């Protein structure tokens, strides 16, 4: 479907109720409030995907108070295409709402050929933010992240590049992603010294991957930095979708190398037990999985993906029940162990 086809153009008017139900949490000790749920564009927004479906998901998100959209230079496929599609949709639907949105991009993984399109050099980061802004048609992003640590580049160089990106007005805040606690603390020290607002660490966190509990959340707390948790549904495993097998078109059915069928089969008994437990709380598994992450005070937002507006609507309902009894938490631990 071509979004530029005149028959596809409908004027978007955001819901007047968009702020009625969403919760907003402060990111660390910053001035930024993030929606408890944010939307990531890693999958389902590339040139290989249906842009009208992506547009429906973005509209649905904003209509439910999801003000934070997360992108990266290499989201697609192909690389760059999620930002380009987002730019097309932004121009048609969201331009009047720019100041109500918190938009992220990142650089750190493989993006273009040669020695300057990967990892953490100043050369890469500064070229990449310029490319991202062009693709999205934005003057600035709200937050720019270094996407993963670079073992070879001095941290001072990478953090210095983030600082200059803020000074150039191309990003308002900076973040890091996939850094271990020690590197996170070092980055925080450098950024403090450079007087740059470091407000978020983006980390994988779900019932199936609890590594952040082993020190990262404490480090963030000590440094006044918030956490945004990605892949909270373990890429779809923590939903009811795989309980009766692998549906066609699901992420595990595709050979993209991110989630595979083996991972689903290895976890299926846990998934079934967790789903039963969610039912006893009056929730779907996806909703319980999201609520469980939000029990951590350091987590400002849970960063979900969705392949349809229907999934997104189901996930937003998680916010209706965020409370766990001690007994429920112990039951979850027992299932996971």
Ligand X SMILES: NC(=O)c1ccc[n+]([C@@H]2O[C@H](COP(=O)([O-])OP(=O)(O)OC[C@H]3O[C@@H](n4cnc5c(N)ncnc54)[C@H](OP(=O)(O)O)[C@@H]3O)[C@@H](O)[C@H]2O)c1
Contact residues toward ligand X (CB under 6 A) are 40-43, 70, 147, 177-178, 202, 230-236, 239, 241, 250-251, 286, 303-307, 311, 314-315
Closest CB to ligand X among residues 32, 104:
104
**d(Cα 337, Cα 331) in Å, to the nearest integer?**
10
Closest CB to ligand X among residues 42, 94:
42
**d(Cα 318, Cα 308) in Å, to the nearest integer?**
17
**Closest distance to ligand X from the beta carbon of 57 (Å):** 10
**d(Cα 236, Cα 242) in Å, to the nearest integer?**
8
Closest CB to ligand X among residues 167, 181:
181
Closest CB to ligand X among residues 10, 131:
131
**Closest distance to ligand X from the beta carbon of 234 (Å):** 6
**Closest distance to ligand X from the beta carbon of 48 (Å):** 13
Residue 137 φ/ψ region, left for φ over 0, alpha for ψ in the -120 to 50 degree band, beta for the rest: left
* Residue count (the chain): 337
**Closest distance to ligand X from the beta carbon of 21 (Å):** 17
**Closest distance to ligand X from the beta carbon of 274 (Å):** 14
Closest CB to ligand X among residues 190, 306:
306
Going by the DSSP 8-state scheme, the letter that residue 147 receives in this structure is -
């Amino acid at each position: 479907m071509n979004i530029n086809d005149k028959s596809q153009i409908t004027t978007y008017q955001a819901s007047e109720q968009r702020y009625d139900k969403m919760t907003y949490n402060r990111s660390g000790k910053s001035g930024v409030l993030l929606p408890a749920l944010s939307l990531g564009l890693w999958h389902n927004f590339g040139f290989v995907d249906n842009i009208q479906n992506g547009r429906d998901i973005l509209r649905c998100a904003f209509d439910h108070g999801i003000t934070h959209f997360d992108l990266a230079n290499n989201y697609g496929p192909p690389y760059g295409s999620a930002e380009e599609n987002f730019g097309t949709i932004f121009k048609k639907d969201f331009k009047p709402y720019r100041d109500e949105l918190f938009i992220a991009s990142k650089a750190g993984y493989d993006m273009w050929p040669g020695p300057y399109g990967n990892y953490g050099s100043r050369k890469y980061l500064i070229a990449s933010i310029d490319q991202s802004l062009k693709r999205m048609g934005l003057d600035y992003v709200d937050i720019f992240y270094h996407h993963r640590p670079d073992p070879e580049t001095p941290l001072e160089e990478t953090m210095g590049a983030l600082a200059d990106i803020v000074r150039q007005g191309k990003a308002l805040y900076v973040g890091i992603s996939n850094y271990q606690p020690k590197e996170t603390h070092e980055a925080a020290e450098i950024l403090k010294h450079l007087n740059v607002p470091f407000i978020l660490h983006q980390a994988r966190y779900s019932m199936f991957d609890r590594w952040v509990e082993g020190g990262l959340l404490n480090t963030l707390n000590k440094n006044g930095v918030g956490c945004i948790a990605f892949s909270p549904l373990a890429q779809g495993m923590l939903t009811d979708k795989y309980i009766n097998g692998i549906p066609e078109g699901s992420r595990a059915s595709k050979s993209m190398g991110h989630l595979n069928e083996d991972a689903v089969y290895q976890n299926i008994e846990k998934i079934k037990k967790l789903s039963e437990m969610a039912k006893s709380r009056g929730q779907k598994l996806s909703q319980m999985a999201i609520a469980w992450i939000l029990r951590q005070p350091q987590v400002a937002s849970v960063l979900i993906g969705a392949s349809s507006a229907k999934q997104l609507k189901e996930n937003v309902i998680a916010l209706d029940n965020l409370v766990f009894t001690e007994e429920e938490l112990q039951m979850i631990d027992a299932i996971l162990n």
